[in-house]
């Protein structure tokens, strides 16, 4: 990996003041934060990148820089995930988010990843079902609002007469195939690896769920349902707004916080 996390310590995020009210109180700038960190001596010749919720937010321009102002997400329902990595200077301004695990946070949503093999028909559709926490998947009503097209365009599909007819193997024109080593290696025909299709569910209540996937074509043919293992969904606590220190007693070591409703 080009992203280096070892040696980065004391990561902090601070609200930036935006103005002062008549009573002397201040209010913060919306959707921005000052991120600071420290780094070990082994990273003294590296630059640093900041990612917010898995997205590239910016890079330092000097090896000694240890702070950056970054944009935050617009949602107030979940907390922002801020990560700092060291990189070689040549990679500083390149988006390396593909090296991170896909991030959807503790949002109550589930991401389902399907292999999209060229063997699936050009008009194939996918429906996704779940068990509502009962343990038995209900295949009467899909969880997705409308059927999911596996191929958005015919040009994405390889096969008989799907590209320049006669300029490839008979019965298999492969110009649209993802290619050898370009997708999920070993999960499709040799030399034509499968790529992936991703779907994110609506917000679900906390619980344990099973999901089922069914592939159909326009003629009514459908695959055997493929069910997932149980998936635990836990939504993150809503971030606290208006949190201030009401009282602090250093002798007793007690702290009183005030939360505005």
- For the chain, the structural domain boundaries read 8-104, 108-235
Greatest distance between any 2 Cα atoms in the chain: 86
DSSP 92: T
Q: Tell me the pLDDT of the chain (261 aa) as tens digits.
A: 789 989 999 999 988 887 777 887 777 777 888 999 999 999 989 999 999 988 899 999 999 999 999 988 766 666 788 999 999 999 999 998 888 876 655 678 888 888 777 677 778 889 999 998 888 999 989 998 888 888 776 656 665 555 555 555 555 556 555 555 555 555 555 556 667 788 888 888 888 999 999 998 888 888 888 888 888 888 776 666 667 778 888 888 888 887 765
Class for domain 108-235, per CATH? mainly beta
The answer to whether the CB of 251 falls within 8 A of the CB of 237 is no
Give the CATH number of domain 8-104: 2.60.40.10
Strand-strand pairing, 243-249 and 111-116: unpaired
Rounded CA separation 170/92 (Å) = 46
3-state secondary structure of 126: strand
82 - beta bridge partners?
52
Distance of CA 236 to the CA centre of its chain: 15
């Amino acid at each position: 990996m080009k992203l280096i996390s070892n040696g980065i310590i004391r990561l902090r995020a601070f609200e930036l003041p935006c103005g002062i009210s008549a009573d002397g109180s201040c209010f913060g700038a919306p959707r921005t934060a000052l991120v600071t960190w420290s780094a070990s001596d082994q990273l003294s010749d590296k630059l640093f990148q900041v990612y917010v919720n898995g997205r590239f937010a910016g890079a330092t321009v000097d090896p000694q820089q240890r702070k950056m102002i970054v944009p935050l997400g617009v949602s107030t329902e979940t907390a922002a995930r801020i990560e700092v990595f060291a990189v070689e200077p040549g990679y500083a301004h390149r988006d390396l988010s593909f090296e991170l695990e896909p991030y959807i946070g503790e949002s109550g949503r589930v991401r389902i990843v399907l292999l999209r093999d060229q063997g699936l028909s050009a008009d194939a559709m996918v429906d996704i079902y779940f068990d509502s926490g009962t343990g038995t998947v209900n295949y009467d009503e899909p969880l997705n609002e409308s059927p999911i097209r596996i191929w958005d365009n015919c040009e994405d599909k390889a096969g008989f007469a799907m590209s320049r007819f006669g300029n490839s193997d008979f019965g298999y024109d492969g110009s649209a195939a993802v290619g050898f080593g370009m997708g999920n290696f070993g999960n499709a025909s040799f030399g034509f690896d499968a790529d992936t299709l991703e779907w994110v569910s609506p917000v679900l209540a906390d619980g344990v769920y099973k999901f089922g996937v069914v592939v159909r074509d326009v003629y009514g043919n459908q695959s055997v349902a493929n069910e997932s293992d149980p998936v635990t969904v836990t939504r993150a606590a809503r971030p606290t707004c208006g949190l201030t220190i009401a009282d602090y007693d250093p002798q007793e070591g007690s702290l009183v916080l005030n939360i505005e409703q």
